[in-house]
Amino acid sequence: MGYITLLRPGIAEFTVQRSRFIAQAAPAADEAAAQAFLQRVRKEYYDARHNCSAWVLGADGSRQRSSDDGEPGGTAGMPILEVIRRRGVTNCVVVVTRYFGGIKLGAGGLTRAYSHAAAIGLDAAVLAEVRTMRRLAVTVAYPLLEPLERWLRQDGIDMEETLYAEDVTLNLLVEPEKIAAIQAVVTDRTAGRARMEVGDETEVVQERPKGETGDG
């Protein structure tokens, strides 16, 4: 199982009806980090009319919170939160600062503005996919190395370092549910001459290309 989060923060802004909206999206490992980011934004934009926010936390995205910060109920925080949900991003906080331009936007206009701000803020950030993997050390004699490496590359199996000693040890990163299947294939391809040791779990972070979001 994996999830999408922010690798690096993003900031973007736009103006509608003379109101300036500044959106900032940042990674947040927990609620304390999300609160700290919100406070930094409030301090930076202390003279703004509103600093509305939302965050989604946890690998399953189950911890969520939003704030309208003085805007009419449901017109700011929830639209921001809805964009984060739709993108499938977690461990993330988005704060949208508004400098009021003197023209009221109405409930519908505010909802659209805060939704758009959240979207462009997330677009400006760098996304990453975080996957939980398990280490699998495969030790083989040198004559078995080339065909085994070829199969691993063709099958797209992630590898860490390779250790060269009397035999060769390939350190693989495998999705936990695929461990048994990989072991079976390695045993078959080496005619039972590979030694394998299952290691601990680790999180692998891979940057997602721009334009790839989690909203399917």
Of the candidates 115, 117, 125, 67, the residue with the CA atom closest to the CA atom of residue 91: 125
Q: What's the number of domains the chain is made of?
A: 2
Same domain, 144 and 98: no
Least confident range of 78-92, 160-174, 194-208: 194-208
Residue 215 predicted with pLDDT over 70: no
Same domain, 17 and 109: yes
We report the CATH number of the domain holding residue 36 as 3.30.230.30
213 pLDDT band, cuts 50/70/90, is low
Same domain, 58 and 154: no
**Structural domain harbouring 73:** 2-124
Same domain, 78 and 152: no
We report the CATH number of the domain holding residue 191 as 3.30.70.240
Same domain, 14 and 107: yes
Of the two residues 2 and 71, the one the predictor is more confident about is: 71
Question: How many residues are given for the chain?
Answer: 216
Per the CB < 8 A criterion, the answer to whether 133 and 204 are in contact is: yes
Same domain, 18 and 96: yes
Same domain, 115 and 80: yes
Averaged pLDDT of the chain: 93
Same domain, 12 and 118: yes
- 79 lies in some domain: yes
Same domain, 92 and 148: no
Residue 1 predicted with pLDDT over 70: no
In the listed set 93, 124, 155, which residue is the last one of a domain according to the structure? 124
Tens of pLDDT, residue by residue over 53-104, are 999 999 899 999 999 999 999 999 999 999 999 999 999 999 999 999 988 9
* C-alpha count within 13 angstroms, C-beta hemisphere, residue 46: 3
- 120 lies in some domain: yes
This prediction has a pTM of 0.80
Residue 203: predicted pLDDT: 85
Residue 216 predicted with pLDDT over 50: no
- 213 lies in some domain: no
In the listed set 70, 91, 124, which residue is the last one of a domain according to the structure? 124
- 26 lies in some domain: yes
Same domain, 56 and 97: yes
Same domain, 20 and 114: yes
In the listed set 68, 98, 124, which residue is the last one of a domain according to the structure? 124
Cα-Cα-Cα-Cα torsion 18, 15, 40, 212, nearest 10 degrees, comes to: 160
- 212 lies in some domain: no
Strands (E), 141-176: 158-164, 168-174
Same domain, 110 and 153: no
- 155 lies in some domain: yes
